[in-house]
Structure formats: structure tokens, C-alpha cells
Structure 1
Amino acid sequence: MLLFFTLGLLIHFVFFASIFDIYFTSPLVHGMTPRFTPLPSPARRLVLFVADGLRADALYELDENGNSRAPFIRNIIMHEGSWGISHTCVPTESRPGHVALIAGFYEDVSAVAKGWKENPVEFDSLFNESKYTWSWGSPDILPMFAKGASGDHVYTYSYDAEREDFGAQDATKLDTWVFDNVKDFFHHARNNQSLFSKINEEKIVFFLHLLGIDTNGHAHRPSSRDYKDNIKKVDDGVKEIVSMFNHFYGNDGKTAFIFTSDHGMTDWGSHGAGHPSETLTPLVTWGAGIKYPQRVSAQQFDDADIAPLMTSLIGVPFPLNSVGILPVDYLNNTDLFKAESMFTNAVQILEQFKVKMTQRKEVTLPFLFTPFKLLSDSKQFNILRKARSYIKHRKYDEVVSLCKELIHLALKGLSYYHTYDRFFLGVNVVTGFVGWISYASLLIIKSHFNLIKGVSKEVKKPSHLLPCCFVAIGILVAFFLLIQACPWTYYVYGLLPVPIWYAVLREFQVIQDLVASVLTYPLSHFVGYLLVFTLGIEVLVLSFFYRYMLTAGLTAFAAWPFLTRLWTRAKMTSLSWTFFSLLLAVFPLMPVVGRKPDISLVMGAGLLVLLLSLCVVTSLMKRKDSFIKEELLVHLLQVLSTVLSMYVVYSTQSSLLRKQGLPLMNQIISWATLASSLVVPLLSSPVLFQRLFSILLSLMSTYLLLSTGYEALFPLVLSCLMFVWINIEQETLQQSGVCCKQKGSYIQFSYNTDITQFRQLYLDDIRRAFFLVFFLVTAFFGTGNIASINSFDLASVYCFLTVFSPFMMGALMMWKILIPFVLVMCAFEAVQLTTQLSSKSQYSFITLCCQELYGFAGDTMCYILFPLLIPLRQLLGCTAWLFIYISASPNRLWILSDPGLDLNLSHAIRACISHYVIVMSMTIFLVFLNGLAQLLTTKKLRLCGKPKSHFM
């Protein structure tokens, strides 16, 4: 069993990792020749202002008095330059946004995951191609364009990371630091001959990264006075810098200025997803080489297009991996210059296409290689020849149009070769999914043979032909991958289905018995159970797309006791189940967490916890056993922890509103509460409901510290439903005729518990496993769609830290997400115990089987979601399509569209990918959460003396 358990965990890790190999591989190729326009450039130098987190509407719209928040930039728009709206791409985060702006391509997820502090630069950029670049700003952004740059010509000046404090009194200091240091730099250059000569060279770049607006947006939200005032501060600073440049260079008219943003921000102060408030950013350009004044259409304009614009202005080679399309409408130059620049842009992207095609061709068998037919070698030659002919005959508009056509074809070709193996890998993973689901199901059926009635149990010895066939298949697959020089991960995905399906077919006798058993089963009952199971899975899948489906499911749960005999046996328990199911059903209908913070609701949740604690303490006071003092002490400690958490939340909120930062004492209390939350429950009694309530109190103290609004009530309501679930399952077991030796309130959590009567699995156990899946999904999506990055609210962690630390903040948010999971898993431990699912010798095996019932539902959801990622036209010949068609509702089939022929996945495809990753993560984390739940429920620490058994 340990081997099977380890194998199952390993297989799920492989399934989880497959999504990154299939959809998140690096788009970078190497080996291209730098290309630049062979004409004099209009500008000698470029100044790039990036106002981090600035929304387009916040800059362009007038305030309530009809005045501009940025009068200097407004004047530029009206009289000096060109402006428009650029579209940033998901994820709308700082690193990928800046990479798109400065390097001209959309970075893959694996690179983003490398971190913020020490990122190796593995790509070419405008800064690397420049003669010199000087940059000022955040230490999280600047190093990525300096490290790895060829030579020593990219200089960075950063402030300390501690300045990025969301609780600081004045976040605009981040921007004034940049402006002041730029002015000091030029003042110093007047007295430094070496530096003075460098900044008078051509092809140089000055980059000013302005983080104040983003910081104020996170801390106070974009509608706040702080955010809007910061825009005015930036506008004043830009005005001073422009004046200084003009004065320093004697108004030579050779400086180009670009003002833009890497991403926007939602109304609730977050970013990362694809809402228009996050993706629409301003672009204002003026100075040398820029047409004036006009608004340029932004229909097809992306932030990656800014990189070729900047390279054309100062005459440096296009970044080698840039996929941006030069926006010629911004240029104030001759038609010849525009045509030559667009031709260079087309050749530069075509070079990437050629390298990508060559790489793919070298690792594919000749008879299997399918070239991109829309851009054959002859068509490339004809387009380039025709473009050169147009330039020669001064048909410049035709050149621009023809080059844009070539660029679009080359981008389609890049996408084609980048995703060349996607279908092959997808089919392998789907095959592995089906095999694993089948094998796990057969194992449960084989181990619990009373599910099969009236069928012969004679076991036939397997034929030697079967293993020989699978060995031969494995050798053929490995040879096929070897001669194509595939990465080692391809061997994992290609060979994994072989042993899985061998294990499935070895159980042919079980399959045969199962079919015979199904045929003897009443057809109406079988169809009924199948329909109910399919409907349940469908509701789970739909809940990933529509949160309100959880409300529908919980409403159905509320009616469950009245559809069975439970109502007649346990009226109060049934009414409690219905009440808390309906109460929990309200949460998925509420707005996503973080959009409307309300500390009063957090305080209310804390008061409810204290009220429940008072009831428990009162009941403990009535006890007369020798351990009452220890139990009271533990509960009093937890009550004190809850009170301190409420104080810290209120005190921190007040301090931040006064812009006095996070008090040190509050920070110490918060971290101490978090550290003790997993230890204090181990001091409480192992009696079932006392231990569960102790776990709730400890985790609620931490959850209050991480809450900003109504979500603070969620774990409390969820736990109440879990307590009722434990009782109602015990009633269900008694109803089925199984005698319970003890009532739930007297059972202890302990591995020493021995239920001497071993019980087989019933259909009710499948329902219990489904309930577990549903409650886990509810715990995940109940208070927000955390599949979306912008659902995270940084204000959740302000009781612990306010200085920007992405990994620490991410870890705290992840723990907030996991707390409801832990509560559900602890309750399921109690359900397993009270429904007598195990004996002393077989507890671990039955636990594994119950988890596999969960895994079956989870894997089924993955099996539904994963093929949705594969383009429809590739699925038409795949047998998996039948399963999807049956299990998927018609209104969801639009998801099966091709992600498009651009380099970015469509919103629907990205959503499917995130949902797939969530389900796989849940399946994997379930193992660890189960271990954590067992630790919290079964282990006992004592304040003094030796542990003793103490039934009530």
C-alpha cells in the first residue's frame, strides 16, 4: 500500500507539472542576427518614464472640477506629441509588463517564477542594444535588465527595498527619490568629464521607474486622494526632468520622451488579471522623431510595440526576441524611414521564425515534420523581394502594408512551432488520466468486493503475452522519442501511460466481474446513480467558472435530509444542517474578497468566536475530572489570542489610516499568533468536538489577522456546518444498521482507536467522499475566485508586514486560503472516525481508499478540464471528445476554441489552465492536508507531566 500511495502521489505531480511543459514553455529562441534601420535616427537619446500601476483613465480623465490631474502631460497631448492607449497582457504584473515594454516580448511563466530580486537576464532588450543606459527606481525591476547585459553599459541606481512600504506615511517619496537622484546625476556630470562625454553620446537611454502610484494604489486604492495626488506629483516631476534635459542639452531637439505604464489597477487596488482597468495604460510620446499633436488609434496596439518604437527613435538594433510591431503612426519622419523601419521590423521577426522552424525540423523525423504552410520559403522570398521593389519605386505605403502582412504570418508561424508538440503531449496526459482513474477505481472495487454481488471470484493467472506487449510498446515509444532528441520530460509523459494501462488490464477479471455485476443490477437504480454522480461532477466543474453554482449545490445539500429518513430520526440535526448549508450558500453570491473592505465585519466575526468560546468554557466549568484546569487554561489562552487578534486588526487599520505604518507590537503579536496556531490545539483534549473546537479557535485567530471584510465569517460558518456534518453522518450510519459503540461527542481522536468490526464501503461512503470534494471546492471559491491573480488583496497581510515582499506576502495569502481546507480535512477525520471506516490494522488502507474516492472526482474534473485546453480541431479525432461532450454543458463548449494565432492564450484557455492547476494542486495538497489534519487531531501535548487517557 505504501508503494501504491507513493506511486499515486508521483503520478499526480507529473500531471501537475505537465501543464507547464505543454503551455508555459519559454518562447525565446537564440541565434538571430541583430537588425537595425540603415538610416540616420531622429533622436540621439531617449527618456523613458514608466509610472508603475497608472491606469489610462486616471491620467486622461478630468477631475471633479474639470481640471487635469497631470497638467504638464495634458499640455504635451494638446500641443507637442502623440498619445494613445496601450494594451498590456496577462499577467498584468510589474516584471512581465516591463519585459514587454523594454524587450518587446511576453515572458513565459517559468521566468516570472524565478523571482523578483536576482533574475538572470536571458533575453535581449533595448537597454542591452543601447550605447549606454542609466536607470533609477525599484530594486525589483532595474537589475533584470542589467544582469546579463553584454559589456558594462547598463547602470542602475535603486533605493532600499524597505522604502516600498504600503503603510508608509508618504509613498510619493519613491518617485521624488527618483527625480532628485536624476537631477543630482546630471549636476554631478557637469563636473565629471568621463561621465559628461558618455551622456553626450548618441543611442543612449534614461529610464525612470516610478513606483509611488502603484504603492498608493495598493495601500489606498485608485479612487483615493493619495493615488490621485501622486499622479500630480509625477506630473510635476516629469515637467522638471524634461526642463532639465532641454536645458542640459541646449534644446538641441534630439531627445525623445515616452511616458507610459507597465499595467493598470483594479478599483480594489490589485492587478494581475485581464480586467480593462488593469490592461489599459496610457502612452504619451513627444520630442525628436515623434509626430505632433495627434491621438493614435490603439485598437491593435500592445505594450510590446513600444520596444520597436523606441529602437527606431534612437537607431539601435531591434531586441532579438521582440515580437512588437512598429507603430509607424507615431513617427515624424520621411516615408522612406518608416518603410525601412517596418522592413527591418519584419525581417527581425522573420529571423525568429526561421530559427524556430530550423530547431523544430532538426528534432523531428522528416516524414513526420509538417511545415507551416502559410509561410513557405518561396513566399518569404517573394514578400521580401516585393517589399524591396516597392521601396525602390517609392511605394512606401505598400511596403508598410506588405511588411505588416509578413509580420503577422511570421507570428503565426512562431506560435505554430512553439506549440508543435502540444497535441502529442496532451493526448499522452489525457491517456494517463484515464488510466489512473480506471486503476484507482478498480483497486477500490477489488479491495471491497462486497460491491460486486453474485459474481465468481475465481482469479485467472495473467498471460505472459500482456507484459511482453507493453514492454514492446514502451520500447517503441522510447525509441521514437530518442531519435527525435526529445527532452527528458517527454519520456515521462510518453511512457507513464504504459505501466498504468498495464496495471489496468491486469485487472481484467475485476473488470469482467464488474460488468457482470452491473448487468445484474436494476437498470433504473444504475441509471439513477449515474445521473446523480454526473450531475454532481457537473456542478463541481461549473463552479470553477460560475461561483454561484456552489450556492446551487449547497441549496441541494440543505434539502438532502428531507429527501431521506434522516428528518424522522434527527429533526434538530437535520434543521441545523439545512440552516448552516443555506447560510454557507450566501458566501459564493457575495463580491470577491478585497473589493469592499469592512473591518466591522472582522470584529463581528471575532465577537461570535468569543461568544462560542464562552459557551465552551461554561460547559468545561461543569466538569469534575482532574484535567479541567489544563483544559480551561488552553481555552483561555485561545480566547486571549482571539481578543489580541481583534485588537491588532483594529489598531493596525487605524494606524494605517493615520499613515503611521504598522506598529511593531502589532507585528510581533501577529507573527506569534501565527506561530502558535498549530501548537496550541495539541494541548487540548483529544475528545472529538473539544479538539475540533480548539483547532477552530486557533486558526480563527490567524484568519482574523488575514481578513479585511466578510470573509472572516466564512470559516466560522463552514466549521458549524462541519460539526453538523459529523453528527448527521453518524445518524446516517445508524440508519443503515451499523451499530455505533460511542456517540460522537465522546469519541477520542487517536490512532489507538480500534473498531473491531471491519466495515466494507457502502454507496454512502461515495457520497461522503463527494461531500468532501464539494466542501473543499467551497473552501477554495467560497469567498472569491482566487484563480484570478487580481483577487488577492495585499491589505490582508498588513497586520504582518507592509514592506513589499512578494514571496512572504504570497506565503501568508496561501496560508489564509489553506485554513478553510484544514478545517474541512479535520472534520473529515472525525467523519471517518464516527462512521467506523477503519480498524486498528487497516485504518491507513481504508483512509487511502477514501482519499482515492476524492481523487477519482478530482481526476475526473482534471480529465474534463485538461482536454478543454486543446484546440477543438485537434480533438475531433480524439475519443476523449465523447466524454467531454457528455460531461460538459452545451453553453461551455465555446471554451474549446483555438487560443488564437497570436502569442498570447485567449482568456478562456488561460481560465481552463488556471482551473486545471487548481484541481491538480488540490489533489496533491490533499495528501499533505490529510497528514496535517491527523497531526492536529490525534497528537496530544501536555503542559506538565505524562499524557494520560481521559475519556469524559
Structure 2
Amino acid sequence: MDIPIFILAGLLVHCVFLVSIFDIYFSSPLVHGMTPQQTPLPPPAKRLVLFVADGLRADSLYELDSNGTPRAPYLRGILENNGSWGISHTRVPTESRPGHVALIAGFYEDVSAVAKGWKENPVEFDSVFNESKYTWSWGSPDILPMFAKGATGDHVYTFCYAAESEDFGAEDAAKLDIWVFDHVKSFFNSSRSNETLFSALNEEKVVLFLHLLGIDTNGHAHRPNSREYQENIKQVDEGVKEIASMIDNFYGNDGKTAFILTSDHGMTDWGSHGAGHPSETLTPLIVWGAGVNYPQKVTSQFFEDNFLKEWKLENLKRLDVNQADIAPLMASLIGVPFPLNSVGTLPVEYLNSSAHFKAESMFTNAVQILEQFKVKMNQKKETTLSFLFTPFNELQQHSHSHCSKLLLKCFVCLQVFLCKTLINLALDGLSYYHTYDRLFLGLSIAVGFVGWTTYVILVIIKTHTNLTKTVPTNKKKSAVLFYSFASAGMIIVFFLLIQTCPWTYYIYCLLPVPVWYAVVREIPVIQDLATNVLSLHVGQSVGFLLISILAVEILVLSFFYRSALTVGLLVFAVWPVITQLWVQAKTKALIWTLLCVLLAIFPLMPVVGRDPNIPLVIAAGLLTLLISCFSLASLCKSENKYRDNEDLKVYFYQMFSVALSTYVVSSTHNSLKNKQGLPVMNQIISWMILVSSPVLLLLSPTFLFQRLFSILLSLMSIYLLLSTGYEALFPLVLFGLMFVWVNMEQEALQHYGLSRKPKLAFFNFTYAMDITQFRQLHLDDIRRSFFFVFFIVTAFFGTGNIASINSFDPASVYCFLTVFSPFMMGGLLLLKVAIPFVLVSCAFEAVQVTTQLSSKRYKGLFMVFFFFQVFFLYSANLYFSLTFLMSLSCSISHYVLVMSLTIFMMVMNGLAQLLTTQRLGLPRRTKHHST
């Protein structure tokens, strides 16, 4: 197979591997076609007011101030004297959209919604708002519209402020909550002169939803322990008090209004959310008003988090719920049908109603979830061959009518318990049928993955080594082999066709067929390889194998423990000592060792929880300028042949760009610290630097030293704008190590008997070497490819971890924008992550030039890296498969991470070639000589 075709095939195969994990594990759990279920008894409340304080942590609301006074006195009084309280446990991802969906619709949304910025509905769903008579909502344009779009009819109304108001750099984001409170007051005041609106407000089954985003915005901008965040809680408490009093007065204190205050997610101490830290998953829940229990005094109660004593609430019964349980609670209070896809269990402890009402509500809840189970079971039964279908036995023997008769015969107090048991069984059944094909599809992907890994190894050995010899093709055997695999493919297609499987199943199940066909065709290569391996010295073979396994396992561990990178870098530091390189180039080897030790410090630094340290960013900018001055002086001393006045101007422009970036970072963060917002001029300059830096890079000469120097300056000017602390120093140290690596690999050329050129300044990325200098891959190329992979992983985990959502600090993008924009902010974050990748990739391009590999041989070297990456992935998956069910989410995240990394590095390879070999040509002034 030609190299370009092979790379393209690898890209497509890995895209399939990557997409498969989302299709298998993140498909939507929703089903349709259920019958709505509603409690037949009259509800205790006519209307419900839902307050969602976005980003409010449970401890931030319940804990007392340093002087022993409550931070939210009104709400504290409610939970002590008028209502019930507890903790609402959220699920990962702890983001606004999935949190609100769980609260209002009662199910945990699949992760596919993140592709639309948590704004649009990937699948339409039912909600308490949709089942209500009328719903009025006020708040963020990112949250409210999704429930209006999913509603049938025209009875869900939204009032949103402008998206530009969600500004992390604003003086005080509490104005967002004040906007909501003011507009709710204005709404009720205007209804007195609007007969239609007044009549609608006095209907039953009415919901009022107040989305309060100020706390979340202040938390991102100033951290949850800040004065702004805590003051915002007090303002929300005062606003809730005013709204509750106004509503009670509006309805003549009829006692038919239920109030709920909760949060969609919490927030870490460093102002982020998205992962599963308790500060993100523990949110407050306070319920009071019509149909709600009064506080229950207890002598003792135990919870693992031990917060009760700290909050001084150990004598008030704490009623914890799952976030999805709040939706059936709201439905029960106002008597609307339970949301069709709700998986929440009604927390009857919150209800102050008759035992009969509680039993009927629990029964309705159980039937509603059983309806989903029935639909899910029938769907799977219709698409599975009868002799292959395995039912969920725990519920299979109970029909809907049988369960109804059984429950009706029970005592009322026992019915609640039996309904909870039945709900748990139904939820287990839903999960069983939702994951019914998971094992089958997972095995198909695993078989394809092992086959592809084997084929990659065989192609590398066959194409780029002398370990095998060409064997004439036996046409008869080839034909038999082809038709055998084609027949297997037809059988798979027929099997999937009669079960009406989705089209993606065909891709996952058919992928192993061509892959293993390609492997079997290379049996002669396997035979030759076995012969050569057996002829090797046993000690050398075992030693090489052990070193390879150890090296790969270090990479595996680095995905779980960043400190493993430190160990690897310290081992790298002694590499010149155990080779002849220490003798050949003592100065370079000493610098290599020093930079390895310096780089080893970064994986030990904290990823999250750190405060911005702008002086370090400024120091990084000044250090870059200092290094640039020395490098420029060295360049000016080089022969005229390799420099030009026009080229020097490019470097001066790039140095000015770095200086400008340093100033903008300092100025912007000072302005935000003084609550003066993002200066418009700074924002314009930041975007101009972002656009102009790649252009300046491509204007520089393609000589190795000059182009690498130019790449550093261009990328550093961007990276500085995206930095908030010590990570600004990381590209400098990494680039220094990469530059020394290029020099060290040049020294290693003597192993091949090739002449070593004296100066890197003479190398040109576009230099076409003579065909007689081409060589096959050597064992040292395996070592180089491993270095490449290790440096790539170091570039990824050196200062952070994009796989952890809550490691993202919004302050990183404040030089570009402060108004909330998930796609724009996410894009800038990815750019920041990609910059160290580009540095390593460009250095590897330089290694290709200095080690005198042709472009085709270089592709082979890239495939060696590809082999290591695939082997690493396989090793990681084997490691996880032992505890797969216990650590499913961790396995999936690392699988996605490694697959994305592999595909991303293919793209980086092409980008590195573009950045190192291409040059923009500009008209140059012609020098006129006098005669």
C-alpha cells in the first residue's frame, strides 16, 4: 500500500474507532410513545415557583459567615421554620444545560448535547414546563429557550436578557439576577392591568421559573470564596424573599404556592465546573409552601460528608435527593403528568399530604417509569432475532396490569416501599436494554482494533526494514482468501439486515473484515519476521522487549499520574551519559540534561486550583525577548548567504509582537482586577496578534535555525495572551529541549557512517537530498519515535489536562473576550493546547532533515510513532478491561483521549510540514549598483 493511501486509511480507521465510543456509550437514552401518567387526587398546590441559582454550591449557601451569621438569612429561616431542605446530588458533566434538563425534565441528558454548546436539543423531550398549564421564565438566553422549543403548543413563555450581559469581566455579575427580580416584579404589576394575563396567572398548574446566573458568572470571574460571590448569594436571598412575599400578596396569601430553590451545579474553589468534585456535585435544595413538610427535628443523623456540624444543622433532618428526583416532586406538587422520560424517584419525605396521596403519587411514578421500560423492551425485541433475545428477567414476569393489582392490594404504607422497589427494577431494566448491544459492538471494535494494530506493525517491517524479503504472489491462494473474507462480510450484512440495525452497526461490524484480510495477506512477512527474531541473541531480544514494555507503560501511567512524565524526563536526562554522545558533545549533553530536569518540574505543578500569577507571564515574555536578542545576534554573525535584511525585519516584527503580548496581558488583567472590564484596544490587539503571527512565521526563511526560531516567536506571542501563570514558561523550556534534541540527533548520525554537517544553519527544510543518501530505518529510529511520542504526551499533560473539564480557567481567554461564548472560548483553549504540539512536531520535522531521511522514509518514521501510539492505546485498554465495569467512565475518557490524540497528531504532522517548508513570497526591493 502506498504511504499516502496508508496514512489516509489510518485516519479513516481511527475516526471510526473514535466515533464508535460515542455511538456505543453516549447514545440518547430517550424513548417515545409512552402514555402520560398523572396522580388522580387533587394536588396540594396550584402554582410552583422554581428558583435556580446557577453555580451555587451547597456549602456556600448553608455555611455560616466567620461571625456566625447565615449568609442567606431568609432561606436559613425557611429551612429552620417553614420547609424541608437537603442536598441535590448532580451527575457529571456538571454543566448548566444537563443540570437544568435533570431538574425540569427528570432525566440525565447524554453528552451529545455538548456538540451544540449545551444550547440546542439533540433530541426533543418532555418536561414539567411542557406539562404545565402555563410557564413563565426569566433569565439566561442559553437556558430558557431550550424548554420553550421542546414544548408542545404555545404555553411556555421566556423573557431573556441579551447574551452580551454574561460578561466575566463585568464590574458585578449580580446585575443579571437583579434584572430577573426586577422583570418578575414588573410582570406581576403589569398583569393587574392586563385581564388576559391576570386570568392566566390565576389558573392552576402554573409554573414560574427564575434562572439566576449571577452567582455562576461571579464564581468564574472571582472564585467562590470571593467577596463578589458571597455578596451575590446575599442579594439572591433578598431577591427570593421579595419575590415570595410579592407572589403571596398577589394571590391573597391563599397558601396554594409551592417554592423550590436549588442549583444546577456547584463550582470548584478555582471557579470552574464540569467534573465530579463534591464542590460541583453537591447543590442545595430548599422547598417550602403548599404541600411541603415543615422542618423535622432529629437527635442525630449521619452523612459521609460530615457537613452538618459545620453548618450547624445537625438537629434538622436533611433529605438528600438525586437531581432528577426534583422533576417528579414538582409534578406531584401541582398535579401535572410526570415528564415522560423522567427517571427520578419522587422524594415523598418532602410532601406534607395524606398517606393516600403519597401512595398514589409513588404509584404514578412507578407506572410512568414502567411505561418507558415497556417501550424500550419492545423496541429491542423487534430488532433482535427471537432466538438471540435475552429478556430482563427481574421484571419480565410482571405485566403492567399485574403490577397494578399487586400494588392496590397492599397497605398504603407498604405501597410506597413496593413502588420504590419496582422503580429501581424498572430503571435497571431500562439500563439493561439501553446497553443491550454494547458488548457486541465493543467486541467488533476490539477485533478491528487488534487487526489494525497488527497490520500497522507488518507494514512498517515490510516497507522500512530489511527483515523480510519479497515473495511472489500466489494468485490462486489470493483469490480463495478474497472470496472467503467477502463471504464473511456478506454473512455479517445479512445478519444485520434482518435485524434492521442502524447503518453505523454495519461500519463497526464490517471494519474487521478488510483489516484482517490485509493482515492474512501478509503471512509471509510474519513468517520471515519469526525467522529473524529466532535468530537474534536471546539476551538482546529480551532486553529490547523489556525496555519497550517499560517505555510504553510509562506512557500509560502518564495518562493517570502526570508525575510519570517527570520520571521519564529524568531518565531522558541521563541518556547522553549511557551513550557516546556525552563524549562527542559534552556542552550539548549538559544543556540537554539541564533542560530535561527543568521540564520535569512542570508535571509536578498543579493543573487546577491555582490562582493567576501574571508576573510569571510577564517574566516569560521578557525571557523570550532576551533569548531572541541573543539568537538574533548569533544570526547576524552568520554568513551573508544565510541572512537578509528583509528577513531580519520579520524577526524584529515578531519580537515586537511578543513585547506587545506581554504588555496586553499585564494591562488586561490589571483592568479586570480594577473592575474596569476588558479594554477594547487590548482586545483588538490580541485578535490582530492571533491573525498576524502565523503570517509573519511564513515570511521567515526556511533554513532550519531561522524557521524554528521564527516558529517559537510567533507561537509564544499567542501563548502569552492565553496564559495566566507558570504555564507561560512551559513552551520556552520545551522549545529549548526540542532544539537541543535536533542537535543531539545530528551528533548520532555517525552510527550510520554518514557525514555530519557542521552547522544547523546550513540545513534547509526544503532541501532535497541526493537519492544515494536515503537509508532504511534503524533501531535508533524506534528510539526517536518513542522520544517523539513521549514529548507529545508531555506537551499535552505538561501544564494541564483537557480531558478534565474543570481544569479550564476562563481567565485564559480574557485578553480576547470576557462575554460567555462556549465555542469561541473552547476554540481558544484548544489553540493553547495545540501550541506545544506544534513545537514538538516542527522539531520532529527538523530531526528528519538532520538525520538525512527522505520524505518517504520520514513517513515510515511517522508510522513507527503510529505503532507506538497504537500499542500504547492497546496496552491502556487491556489495563482497563480488568475493571471495565467499575471504571467505565474513566476507560471511555482515556480511550477518547488517545484516539483523538492519534488523529490530532496526523493533522499536526501535516501542519508541521506546512510551517517548516512553506514560505510566503513578498516583492523585494531591487538593489541598484552604480557603474
Structure 1-normalised TM-score?
0.93
Which residue does the alignment assign to 2:31?
29
Q: Is the 8 A contact 1:270 1:791 kept in 2?
A: yes
Which residue does the alignment assign to 1:864?
875
- Separation (CA, whole Å) in 1 of partners of 2:318 and 2:546: 50
Which residue does the alignment assign to 1:82?
84
Cα distance, 1:384 vs. partner? 3.5
Q: Is the 8 A contact 2:719 2:835 kept in 1?
A: yes
The alignment status of 1:274 with 2:276, answered yes or no, reads yes
Q: Is the 8 A contact 1:120 1:147 kept in 2?
A: no
Distance 1:799 1:244, change over 3 A: same
Q: Is the 8 A contact 2:218 2:228 kept in 1?
A: yes
The alignment status of 1:552 with 2:567, answered yes or no, reads yes
- Separation (CA, whole Å) in 1 of partners of 2:843 and 2:357: 71
Cα distance, 1:857 vs. partner? 1.9
The alignment status of 1:820 with 2:836, answered yes or no, reads yes
Cα distance, 1:386 vs. partner? 2.2
Q: Secondary structure, in 3 states, of the residue corresponding to 2:170?
A: coil
Which residue does the alignment assign to 2:576?
561
Cα distance, 1:736 vs. partner? 4.1
Cα distance, 1:474 vs. partner? 0.4
Q: Is the 8 A contact 1:576 1:724 kept in 2?
A: yes
Which residue does the alignment assign to 2:364?
344
Cα distance, 1:742 vs. partner? 5.6
- Separation (CA, whole Å) in 2 of partners of 1:457 and 1:569: 43
Which residue does the alignment assign to 1:493?
508
- Listed as ranges, the matches of 1:626-775 within 5 Å are 627-741=643-757, 743-750=759-766, 752-754=768-770, 756-775=772-791
Cα distance, 1:947 vs. partner? 12
- Separation (CA, whole Å) in 2 of partners of 1:624 and 1:748: 15
Which residue does the alignment assign to 2:636?
621
- Separation (CA, whole Å) in 1 of partners of 2:860 and 2:517: 21
Cα distance, 1:532 vs. partner? 1.0
Distance 1:308 1:789, change over 3 A: same
The alignment status of 1:580 with 2:595, answered yes or no, reads yes
The alignment status of 1:353 with 2:373, answered yes or no, reads yes
Task: Provide, for residues 512-545 of structure 1, a one-character-per-residue CA deviation record: whole Å limited to 9, x for no partner.
Answer: 1111111111111111111111111111111111
Distance 1:208 1:300, change over 3 A: closer
- Separation (CA, whole Å) in 2 of partners of 1:829 and 1:930: 8
Q: Is the 8 A contact 1:130 1:204 kept in 2?
A: yes
Counterpart of 2:824 (choices 790, 795, 808) is: 808
The alignment status of 1:10 with 2:12, answered yes or no, reads yes
Cα distance, 1:943 vs. partner? 3.9
Counterpart of 2:860 (choices 849, 867, 872) is: 849
Task: Provide, for residues 585-628 of structure 1, a one-character-per-residue CA deviation record: whole Å limited to 9, x for no partner.
Answer: 11111101562211111011111101101102222333462743
Q: Secondary structure, in 3 states, of the residue corresponding to 2:291?
A: coil
Cα distance, 1:145 vs. partner? 0.1
Q: Secondary structure, in 3 states, of the residue corresponding to 2:669?
A: helix
- Separation (CA, whole Å) in 2 of partners of 1:624 and 1:146: 70
Which residue does the alignment assign to 1:609?
624
Match for 1:92: what amino acid?
Answer: T
Task: Provide, for residues 790-825 of structure 1, a one-character-per-residue CA deviation record: whole Å limited to 9, x for no partner.
Answer: 000100000000011110000000000000000000
- Separation (CA, whole Å) in 2 of partners of 1:244 and 1:9: 61
Which residue does the alignment assign to 1:533?
548
Which residue does the alignment assign to 1:442?
458
Which residue does the alignment assign to 1:506?
521
Moved more, 930-939 or 735-744: 735-744
Cα distance, 1:375 vs. partner? 1.3
- Separation (CA, whole Å) in 2 of partners of 1:268 and 1:523: 54
Q: Is the 8 A contact 1:52 1:214 kept in 2?
A: yes
Distance 1:670 1:593, change over 3 A: farther
Which residue does the alignment assign to 2:174?
172
The alignment status of 1:416 with 2:439, answered yes or no, reads no
Cα distance, 1:460 vs. partner? 4.8
Task: Provide, for residues 161-213 of structure 1, a one-character-per-residue CA deviation record: whole Å limited to 9, x for no partner.
Answer: 00000001121110000000000000000000000000000001000000000
Match for 2:203: what amino acid?
Answer: E
Which residue does the alignment assign to 2:558?
543
Counterpart of 1:481 (choices 481, 490, 496) is: 496
Distance 1:120 1:734, change over 3 A: closer
Which residue does the alignment assign to 1:873?
none
- Separation (CA, whole Å) in 1 of partners of 2:319 and 2:846: 57
Q: Secondary structure, in 3 states, of the residue corresponding to 1:486?
A: coil
Distance 1:777 1:236, change over 3 A: same
Q: Is the 8 A contact 2:53 2:264 kept in 1?
A: yes
The alignment status of 1:595 with 2:610, answered yes or no, reads yes
Which residue does the alignment assign to 2:189?
187
- Separation (CA, whole Å) in 2 of partners of 1:861 and 1:397: 56
- Separation (CA, whole Å) in 2 of partners of 1:547 and 1:554: 12
Distance 1:543 1:623, change over 3 A: closer
Structure 2-normalised TM-score?
0.95
Q: Secondary structure, in 3 states, of the residue corresponding to 2:208?
A: strand
Which residue does the alignment assign to 1:370?
390
Task: Provide, for residues 728-779 of structure 1, a one-character-per-residue CA deviation record: whole Å limited to 9, x for no partner.
Answer: 1111222343323564332011164446311000111111111111111111
Match for 2:350: what amino acid?
Answer: Y
Q: Secondary structure, in 3 states, of the residue corresponding to 1:756?
A: helix
Match for 1:53: what amino acid?
Answer: G
Moved more, 679-688 or 503-512: 679-688
- Separation (CA, whole Å) in 2 of partners of 1:566 and 1:204: 79
Q: Secondary structure, in 3 states, of the residue corresponding to 2:260?
A: strand
Moved more, 494-503 or 610-619: 610-619
Moved more, 637-646 or 624-633: 624-633
Q: Is the 8 A contact 2:274 2:805 kept in 1?
A: yes
Which residue does the alignment assign to 1:470?
485
Which residue does the alignment assign to 1:941?
920
- Separation (CA, whole Å) in 2 of partners of 1:648 and 1:61: 39
The alignment status of 1:303 with 2:290, answered yes or no, reads no
Q: Among the aligned pairs, what percent are the same residue?
A: 66
Task: Provide, for residues 456-499 of structure 1, a one-character-per-residue CA deviation record: whole Å limited to 9, x for no partner.
Answer: 85665544221111011001111111111111110001001101
Cα distance, 1:786 vs. partner? 2.0
Counterpart of 1:236 (choices 232, 235, 238) is: 238
Which residue does the alignment assign to 1:918?
897
Q: Is the 8 A contact 2:464 2:857 kept in 1?
A: no
Counterpart of 1:63 (choices 62, 65, 77) is: 65
Distance 1:865 1:423, change over 3 A: farther
Cα distance, 1:381 vs. partner? 5.6
Which residue does the alignment assign to 1:878?
none
Cα distance, 1:672 vs. partner? 0.7
Moved more, 298-307 or 806-815: 298-307
Counterpart of 1:256 (choices 258, 261, 272) is: 258
- Separation (CA, whole Å) in 2 of partners of 1:791 and 1:354: 41
Task: Provide, for residues 842-901 of structure 1, a one-character-per-residue CA deviation record: whole Å limited to 9, x for no partner.
Answer: x2x3233222222222222332344xxxxxxxxxxxxxxxxx3xxx4xxx77x61425xx
Which residue does the alignment assign to 2:21?
19
Q: Is the 8 A contact 1:61 1:68 kept in 2?
A: yes
Q: Is the 8 A contact 2:84 2:319 kept in 1?
A: no
Q: Is the 8 A contact 2:125 2:341 kept in 1?
A: yes
Match for 1:694: what amino acid?
Answer: S
Which residue does the alignment assign to 1:902?
none
Match for 2:885: what amino acid?
Answer: D
Q: Secondary structure, in 3 states, of the residue corresponding to 1:591?
A: coil
Q: Is the 8 A contact 1:42 1:288 kept in 2?
A: yes
Paired residue total: 905
Which residue does the alignment assign to 1:876?
none
- Separation (CA, whole Å) in 2 of partners of 1:21 and 1:848: 32
Q: Is the 8 A contact 1:86 1:298 kept in 2?
A: no
Distance 1:751 1:203, change over 3 A: farther
- Separation (CA, whole Å) in 2 of partners of 1:297 and 1:373: 38
- Separation (CA, whole Å) in 1 of partners of 2:167 and 2:116: 23
Counterpart of 2:532 (choices 488, 509, 517) is: 517
Match for 1:230: what amino acid?
Answer: N
- Separation (CA, whole Å) in 1 of partners of 2:341 and 2:374: 13
Q: Which runs of 5+ in 2 are unaligned?
A: 297-312
- Separation (CA, whole Å) in 1 of partners of 2:65 and 2:867: 56
- Listed as ranges, the matches of 1:297-336 within 5 Å are 301-336=321-356
